[in-house]
Each structure stands twice: as C-alpha cells, then as structure tokens.
Amino acid sequence: MNGKRCIVTGANSGIGEVMAREFARRGAEVVMVCRNVDKAEAVRRSIVDATGNRAVSLVRCDLSDLDSVNACAEELLSRDVGFDVLMNNAGIYLPRREENARGHEMMFATNHLGPFLLTHRLLPRLEGARVVTTSSMGHKLCQFRIDDLDARRRFLPIEQYGVTKLCNILFARELARREGGRGILSHAFHPGPVATGFAQDAPGSLFGYALRLGKFALRTPERGARTGIFLATSKEAEAKNGEYWVDEKVAWTTPAARSRELALELWRLSELMTGVA
C-alpha cells in the first residue's frame, strides 16, 4: 500500500485500530478519525512505534454531531489530496434512547448519518477509491421502518442497532450504484462478534449475549478486521461492487437489505437530514 492514503474512522480501538495499524504496516499514509483525541493520540503513537511509519495522523470527529463531521471533512479536503480508502468503521450501541443536538436518535446519527455525510463531503477526493462500511449481522434482527428511522414510535435497542446496520448495507449498495462509474468500490461487511469493549457492558447488547455464551464465541479484533482489510486491499473485491461480505465472501442479506426502493428512499432522506440535498 505504499503511496496509498487511507482514512479509518473509530481507529482508536478494536477493529479500527487493527485496520489502521495494518495499513500503516503496509506503507500507507493513514488518517485516524476519532472522537476521543487523547486516547487516539496514544494509539497513533503506538502505531508509529510498531510500524516505523510516521505518516499516521489524527483528525477529531464526533460522528453523532453533523457540525463536527463537516469540520472533519473540511480539514481533510484542505489537504488537497485524493484518498484511496475510506473505512466507515466507527459505531456505537446504546441501551437507552438518546438524541443528538438535531433530534436524531444517537445510534442512527452515529452509525449512519455521520458516515453518510462524511462520505458525501469527501466524494470529490474519492475517485477510484474503496469505501468500506462496517455493518453487522444484526441487520437481520430488525423490523425496518423507513418512516421511523429515529425510533420515535418504538425503541428497542437491539432492533434500532440492527436498523442502523441495515442502513449501512443500503448505503453501501446505493453508493456503488451512483459512483461505480467513477471507479469507486463500495462494500459493507460483518466483522463477527468481536472481543472488544464495544457495548460489552450494555444490558441487552448483542455483545453481552455473546459474552454470556462464553468468550470462545468471540473473535479477536485481528480476526474481526480481516474482511475489512480484504475489501480495502484485495484484487478479489474489485470483481464485485455494492455487496455485503462475511469472512471474505459475499453473504446472504435480507430482502430489505437488497431493496433498491429502500436504498433510494434512505439516500433521499439522508440527504435531507444531513443538509446535502
């Protein structure tokens, strides 16, 4: 990956940290996009020390805050360079309904609207790039209501998390359809149940259930990151576009995740919600 430029959101822990470290190890210039800059700076230094690659930088971004996303995009665009890989990896799980400053449910804002806006703003610098979005098998556990994306009528934490992960797949598919002609490859993937701090302590979380089944059910972050790294680097991923992957293979998704109509409507609503329409 010498000469490549990679952006990784949520690069201060878990599979995001693993992906950022691996890209740096392979010689890429890496931009870590993280909310907690103090924690992220320590990780950035550890990546530089471990790889000997000093071209690892840090940009602050709270993906739940659209103003923060716009500021992050402006900083990245000001570098006046193209990017080869955008890993939309950061995400959250919350056991209770919370809203951001604009009234959007926090998981929906962080897991979908923020990555949607960041990708949209960076499109002028992503020609020929790979955009890889971390989804989850949790998308199969939701009843998708396109008219209630903010879960105002009904909020069940696991279901709402699944809604955001279904949004990730629909976004990846529609991005591939719209921008594939510019050479942009867009994929979504499921990393598996990963043994990180992500939502493990949240009551009722998918990860909490996995922990109760025993740690043997959980993957290491290195194993969880493998498909993301594969999609960002491999020749095999170039043969398809707009797919959902598990364990380096195209995987089955629900009818909702394959719906062109839902993808179009989600894109339209996301443009309105983020102000890019």
Q: Can you give the length of the chain in residues?
A: 277
Task: For residue 243, give the CATH number of its domain.
Answer: 3.40.50.720
Q: Which residue has the tokens 């990730």?
A: 168
Q: How many CA atoms lie within 13 A of 51 on its CB side?
A: 24
Domain tally, the chain: 1
- For residue 207 the two structure tokens come to 């990860």
93 is catalytic: no
pLDDT at 141: 86
- Find the catalytic residue in 93, 161, 209, 244: 161
Q: How far apart are CA 265 and CA 212, in angstroms?
A: 38
Three-state SS string over 147-162 comes to CCCCCCCCCCHHHHHH
Range of the domain at 112: 5-274
pLDDT at 159: 95
pTM for the model stands at: 0.93
> Could you read off the pLDDT tens digit of each residue along the chain, which spans 277 residues?
899 999 999 999 999 999 999 999 999 999 999 999 999 999 999 999 999 999 999 999 999 999 999 999 999 999 999 999 999 999 999 999 999 999 999 999 999 999 999 999 999 999 999 999 999 988 888 889 999 999 999 999 999 999 999 999 999 999 999 999 999 999 999 997 775 555 444 444 555 554 444 444 677 989 989 999 999 999 999 999 999 999 999 999 999 999 999 999 999 999 999 999 7
pLDDT at 203: 43
Three-state SS string over 45-77 comes to HHHHHHHCCCCEEEEECCCCCHHHHHHHHHHHH
Q: How far apart are CA 21 and CA 28, in angstroms?
A: 10
